Amino acid sequence: MDVLEGDDRLSSLPDDLIHKIQSFLKITDAIGNSVLSPRWRYIWTSMPYITFSTEDFTTLREFSKLVTHVLSRRNNLTEVHKVKLSFRGKASQVFVKRIMNYAISHNVQQLNVVCLHEKDIELPLYLFSSQTLKHLSLTMQSGKPHMHIVCSHCITPTSTWELPALTTLVLHSVTLCDNKADKCIDIFLECVNLKNLTLKRFKTNGSDGFSISHPRLSNLTLENGSFNVKDVNVVAPQLENLTIRAGGIEHIMISAPALVSLLYSGYGSFHLSTDGVRLKE
């Protein structure tokens, strides 16, 4: 079929499809597309997907201005389905708080956060108090430009997270227990609907073990745990799949009568104690 001169098939697409296309672009590029035609002028303001990254700017001041521009001009009647934030600096920065508050107030369902830093940071409770969040991913990465390896520093939660709708949680480089600071918090306690939990490069300070106790957890993955994590205690009556890869874990106590699959790969000795486990062949 011949395409008529001036025919703009892209602009004839429905809004949700254009939003999906725009979601793969930097937010600055999505805004820049507003000059393509009158149809595109304001369409970025109703996108349910928002991606911010400080790595696209030479200074945090410039990035903060962009955040203000985007959030102040966005259609406030449109909910936010997914937010991706990659930032360097402290979690207490104004733009971090503003993005989190905006996402939570607009019923965000999926939140992916990458912290680019070269030292441990703390994530306070006020950043995570959503009633609608279903998927949360937190990653600590090296703050040096163009280095995308996970560093030895960690995210340290300062209190239990109250996320009643959360079903999937992925934590990359997190301190689960900090006894040196008299902190050993069960951060998953109030995530009552949590079903899928993945912990990568997790560690504890002042303790060689930790416990995971959750009534609805069905899938648990532990990867590359710190060498100081020797003992893990899992109490999960609905747990079906448990995966442990590498790390220095020597002993794991499982109370999971519904367990179907256990996958372990690593080195050194490994001792398993079970309570009511019935693995299927």
DSSP conformation letters of 178-236: EGGGTB---TTTT-TT--EEEEES-EEES-SEEEEE-SS--EEEEES--TT--EEEEE-
Distances (CA, A) of 31 to 18, 47, 86, 235: 13, 11, 19, 48
d(CA 226, CA 211): 15
Q: Would you say residue 65 lies in a domain?
A: yes
Per residue in 100-128, pLDDT (tens digit) is 889 989 999 999 998 887 666 666 555 66
Residue 154 corresponds to which tokens in the numbers above?
A: 């960690």
Averaged pLDDT for residues 133-155 = 63
Same domain, 21 and 128: no
Total domains present in the chain: 2
Question: Is 75:46 a contact under the CB 8 Å cutoff?
Answer: yes
pLDDT category of residue 251 using cuts at 50, 70 and 90: confident
Q: Does 61 score more than 70 pLDDT? A: yes
Q: Does 2 score more than 60 pLDDT? A: no
Most confident of 4-8, 135-139, 174-178: 135-139
Q: Which residue has the higher pLDDT, 126 or 43?
A: 43
Same domain, 56 and 130: yes
Most confident of 9-18, 72-81, 201-210, 229-238: 72-81
Mean pLDDT check: name the lowest of 31-40, 104-113, 137-146: 137-146
Q: Would you say residue 280 lies in a domain?
A: no
Same domain, 150 and 87: yes
Same domain, 109 and 187: yes
Q: Would you say residue 207 lies in a domain?
A: yes
Q: What is the DSSP string of 40-71?
A: GTTGGGG-SEEEEEGGGSSSHHHHHHHHHHHH
Residue 280: its pLDDT value, please? 52
Most confident of 30-39, 162-171, 200-209, 247-256: 162-171
Q: Would you say residue 263 lies in a domain?
A: yes
d(CA 6, CA 100): 42
pLDDT category of residue 19 using cuts at 50, 70 and 90: confident
Same domain, 201 and 236: yes
Q: Which domain holds residue 227?
A: 49-274
pLDDT category of residue 146 using cuts at 50, 70 and 90: very low
Residue 15: its pLDDT value, please? 77
pLDDT category of residue 149 using cuts at 50, 70 and 90: very low
Same domain, 21 and 143: no
Same domain, 30 and 91: no
Same domain, 37 and 132: no
Residue 128: its pLDDT value, please? 66
CB atoms within 10 A of CB 268: 8
Residue 262: its pLDDT value, please? 87
Q: Would you say residue 3 lies in a domain?
A: no
Averaged pLDDT for residues 31-39 = 76
Q: Would you say residue 73 lies in a domain?
A: yes
Same domain, 41 and 98: no
Residue 4: its pLDDT value, please? 44
Residue 158 corresponds to which tokens in the numbers above?
A: 């300062």
**Average pLDDT over the chain, rounded to an integer:** 78
Q: Which residue has the higher pLDDT, 270 or 105?
A: 105
Question: Is 204:227 a contact under the CB 8 Å cutoff?
Answer: no
Instruction: Give the rounded percent of residues in the chain with a pLDDT score beyond 70.
Output: 74
Q: Does 88 score more than 50 pLDDT? A: yes
Averaged pLDDT for residues 197-218 = 83
Same domain, 130 and 247: yes
Instruction: Give the rounded percent of residues in the chain with a pLDDT score beyond 90.
Output: 25
Same domain, 27 and 76: no
Same domain, 79 and 199: yes
Residue 72: its pLDDT value, please? 92
| Residue whose token pair is 């890869």 | 245
Q: Would you say residue 168 lies in a domain?
A: yes
Q: Would you say residue 171 lies in a domain?
A: yes
